[in-house]
A and B are shown apart, each in its own frame.
Chain A
């Protein structure tokens, strides 16, 4: 659902200069491919810092989705109508799904999901600062959908063209699925704003609390965002923090006016010359405190995630133990990436409708084949995407080596006589 560039914490790991020891030819080829908007795929050569930056960005994005389930999850059991309950549940479920797509994308870079989760729980990895703010009232559900998902859309749409193939593909799926999230949030706010004085108060209060954290979601200002330039060159970021922030503010101001709510910024004013809204100073101390893990409910969020993971350990272990006893297990090779008690990785293929081939859509973790089918069903077919599923242990896939791609694929290039257009036949001769 959301990305926040937290690189500005400025630690050494967040610096991404070009490593001079890397192969200059490979680097030049890589840079040229990226500059030409080609996609980089998992087995391709990539600079180590590109891999690291991506790893940090994608895993942070995945963590944000998973932690982001909690503030809204706080209201699922208390949603005011059955329809609102179903909508909120479906939305939070999407966030879980998006976390999974993103972990899967990050796993293609060679780090296991469990390692990423451990890093989050140990405080080594970050998640979006926005989720360390509380949801005391129902209006917070509206505000999150409208503002947080709205900011996420602005952030995420450009990432569909990110240079790393698995990330870009995950973002395409995510953006498509999220299109209802912001609308449902705005609709909640609209209903509250038109409701009783208590409801309107609730809505305004939520807006007051979420506005500033939402515009901080775009990360620090460009002159304090040391990695932005490199990330933009690498096409793992397509627009700067300030550009995206301005875009979000400009589209949100009229939306607030339309439902009679007031944005909590007295300096907000249309600037005719710039063709954009001017806005007041952002409290970056607040932002950096949240980045450091000092958001108001950061402790609660981490406590809940760690508890869920620890409480689930015996379940994951049991499923692994049972899976090993199945006859099918003997033929499944060891999953190189699996660590701890997380389940093995399976690739998922879906036949969208009869008559079409199965197509790769992503991966899931599962302890046995039936579980893999169920997880694939629950994660990748929530919107009628398919009529048939294949799941294959990732370790059983043999892929061609990009280093051999020239030998494998280029010889076909000059065999144009294999194509019917090679042969010129007069137009008046039919049926040939």
Chain B
């Protein structure tokens, strides 16, 4: 169980918000991957995607439990996952984008995991022991996610004409939501300055290099620069999140207060 006792009172609200952002990223992406279970292009891939989802659920439980402790509202991770509506979710817009075809799912995973890998590397050095602990455990998981996704980027980019076209389209769909990953709002900069959080803007050059390298290997063009769409961290979401929550939260909504 995470330990929130040693957090300075002045940082408590910001850290709670931060934990929710990270927990929601993992939760929503896991939820999307869950939908592939039983329907993947090959049974082996079904198991791989499930492994990714299981890792992400574990991360979500860690971050959300910590967020719940910091909020001191007598909630637990489940209350946060199943009790909030769209406006209170803090995930980035990238992870709430629909699965689409396998190429679109891989595009989402590749862009996110490549970012998350860099992010967790820094977060593992956080002066907040709980965040650092969750990050250290998650780094190995996410390194595998990034490896898995980037290899599929190359296979699909460099496979057939059809897979190349689908991979290009998948990346094109997701590219609008990339800039949000590197935004820094006052909460994040305050935490980064104290060595508690991550300066995301600083991750961009390394991320760009990694993305360019893999896309080149997959003979894929860099997606065209276009106006980015952001707002997830502030609760301004796309249409997709509401439906995802309606599905995910159904039982808790239909039977309030029940024990499962």
Contact = CB atoms under 8 A, between A and B. Distances in A.
Chains A and B are bound partners: yes
B47 A100 contact: yes
- Please report whether the interface of chain A is mostly helix, strand, loop or mixed according to DSSP: helix
B248 A78 contact: yes
Contacts of A188: 260
A311 interface: yes
- Please report whether the interface of chain B is mostly helix, strand, loop or mixed according to DSSP: helix
A96 B162 contact: no
A314 B54 contact: no
Contacts of B255: 196, 198-199
A366 to B, nearest CB: 7
Which one of A84, A321, A370 has the highest number of Cβ atoms from chain B below 10 Å of its Cβ?
A: A321
B78 A82 contact: yes
Interface residues of B, number: 53
A378 to B, nearest CB: 4
Contacts of A364: 44
Nearest to A375: B44
Interface residues of A, number: 62
A138 B251 contact: yes
Contact of A96 (B43, B53, B163): B43
A54 interface: no
Given A312-B40, A319-B155, A77 B48 contact: no
Contacts of A281: none
A174 interface: no
B141 interface: no
Nearest to B257: A196
Interface in A298-342: 304, 307-308, 311-323, 325, 342
Contact of A311 (B30, B41, B54): B41
A379 interface: yes
A93 B54 contact: yes
A82 B44 contact: no
B41 A191 contact: no
A97 B54 CA distance: 15
Contacts of A311: 39, 41, 101-102
Contacts of B102: 311-312, 315
B150 to A, nearest CB: 11
A78 B51 CA distance: 18
Contacts of A314: 160, 162-163, 166
Given A80-B82, A85-B34, A198-B255, A99 B159 contact: no
Interface in B101-141: 101-102
Interface stretch (B55-63, B195-203, B231-239): B55-63
B51 A382 contact: yes
A111 B48 CA distance: 25
A89 interface: yes
A213 B196 CA distance: 56
A148 interface: no
Interface stretch (A68-76, A220-228, A238-246): A68-76
Interface in B38-78: 38-48, 50-51, 53-54, 57-58, 60-61, 64, 77-78
Contacts of A317: 159-160, 162-163
B247 interface: yes
A56 B233 CA distance: 54
B154 interface: yes
B37 A92 contact: yes
B50 A93 contact: yes
A367 B155 contact: yes
Which one of A66, A103, A366, A375 has the highest number of Cβ atoms from chain B below 10 Å of its Cβ?
A: A375
A308 B41 contact: yes
B148 to A, nearest CB: 6
B46 to A, nearest CB: 5
Interface of B: 27, 30-31, 34-35, 37-48, 50-51, 53-54, 57-58, 60-61, 64, 77-78, 81-82, 101-102, 147-148, 151, 154-156, 158-160, 162-163, 166, 247-248, 250-252, 255, 258-260
20 contacts: A69-B38, A73-B39, A80-B251, A80-B252, A80-B258, A80-B260, A81-B82, A82-B60, A100-B44, A138-B260, A196-B258, A199-B258, A307-B39, A317-B160, A318-B156, A318-B162, A343-B42, A378-B47, A379-B47, A382-B51
Given A82-B64, A89-B34, A100-B47, 15 more contacts: A76-B37, A77-B247, A80-B251, A85-B57, A89-B50, A195-B260, A308-B41, A311-B101, A312-B42, A314-B166, A322-B155, A322-B158, A325-B158, A367-B155, A374-B48
